[in-house]
Amino acid sequence: MRTSSAIRSLILYLAMLIGAAVSLFPFYWAAIAATNESGKVFAKPPVLVPGSKLIANVVHLNDAIGIGRVLFNSIYVVVIYTVLSLLICTMAGYAFAKFTFLGRNAMFAVFLLSMMVPYHALVIPLFKMMAAWGWLNTYQALILPNLAYPFAIFLMRQNMLAVPDGMMEAGRIDGVSEWGLFTRIILPSVKPALAATAIFLFMFQWNSFLWPLIAVQNKEMYTLPVALSSLFGLSRIDYGQVMAGVTIATAPVIVFFLLLQRHFISGMLGSAVKG
């Protein structure tokens, strides 16, 4: 009995380790390819150790797409977007979680339903609007359209429902302003959810492709995914250079995720279960 359960747990660990390896291998492989010359991507047997071409690949990448400028665009857009969207969605989530007011349920239902509307239904009108306003190839075109992100509003509302109303009542009796209640009582109690939503928004914007592909035609204004895809579409591809770009696009999100994963996963747990 005991040996059979030991064997079973061995098999379980083995299966989980294989799963983890499958999940992580493409990242490792991409990072290795970024440090080797182009031809090594298809070498037999496969090259699985770092080479010495990382700097050369990054230099070539810079010649091709101006990686400094593209990286700046992505970081600039993602930072402003994450801060503004987090504020706007948290405020909205707070209103939905902690107040009763006329139209609350209807508005919340509309926000929830809008999550089902495919982004494709929006891009054509958004493109025409931006063109009419002269906003194509601008940062505001990349930042503004998705600031009120329904899923972030939903996530914040779910997490704020759990904050006891008594804390707010006590604050009101002590004469704390409405804004003060929000910033000094509510926000500190939902810190993990704030972290989770921030990562979510950061990842969404950093990885976003379809809208930047449409809103930006000027190479100077490309974000990383758009620049990468333009590079990959060329007839003669320098794979080392492309993989250097892929690694640069992937590394920040992974670092960000690893630093905050505890909050992220607990935030997901908080919303998925109550949802």
Partner 1 sequence: MRTKGYVPYLFLAPALGLFAVFMAYPIIYSFLLSFQTGAGKHMSFTGLSNYHRLFSDELFWTALKNTFAIMVIQVPLMLFLAILLAAGLNSVKHLTGLFRVSFFMPAVTSLVAYSIIFSLMLMGDGIINQFLTAVGAGAVPWLSNPIWAKAALILAMTWRWTGYNMVIYLAAMQNISESLYEAANIDGATRVRQFFSITIPQLKPVILFTAILSTIGTLQLFDEPYTLTKGGPSDATLTIGMYLYQTGFRFYDFGYASTLAYVIVVLIAVLSFIQFKVTGDEE
Query: With binding defined as CB under 8 A, does residue 182 bind partner 1?
Result: yes
> Which one of residues 4, 52, 100, 235 is an interface residue with partner 1 (CB under 8 A)?
100
CB 231 within 8 A of CB 245: yes
Structure tokens at 263: 């909050």
Query: With binding defined as CB under 8 A, does residue 114 bind partner 1?
Result: yes
Query: With binding defined as CB under 8 A, does residue 272 bind partner 1?
Result: yes
Q: How many CB atoms lie within 10 A of CB 181?
A: 20
Structure tokens at 1: 């009995």
Q: Please, which residue, 56 or 123, has the CB nearer to partner 1?
A: 123
According to CB under 8 A, which residues from 138 to 157 bind partner 1?
144-148, 153
Picking from 106, 187, 111, 98, the residue whose alpha carbon sits closest to that of residue 151 is 111
Separation in Å, CA 258 to CA 121, 176, 217, 233, 262: 34, 37, 33, 31, 8
Query: With binding defined as CB under 8 A, does residue 12 bind partner 1?
Result: yes
Q: Please, which residue, 56 or 112, has the CB nearer to partner 1?
A: 112
Query: With binding defined as CB under 8 A, does residue 27 bind partner 1?
Result: yes
> Which one of residues 62, 137, 138, 207 is an interface residue with partner 1 (CB under 8 A)?
207
**Least separation, in Å, of the C-beta of 78 and partner 1?**
12
Tell me which residue has tokens 């976003």. Answer: 208
Residues in contact with partner 1, counted by CB under 8 A, come to a total of 91
Picking from 145, 118, 114, 117, the residue whose alpha carbon sits closest to that of residue 129 is 145
Query: With binding defined as CB under 8 A, does residue 184 bind partner 1?
Result: no
According to CB under 8 A, which residues from 47 to 86 bind partner 1?
none
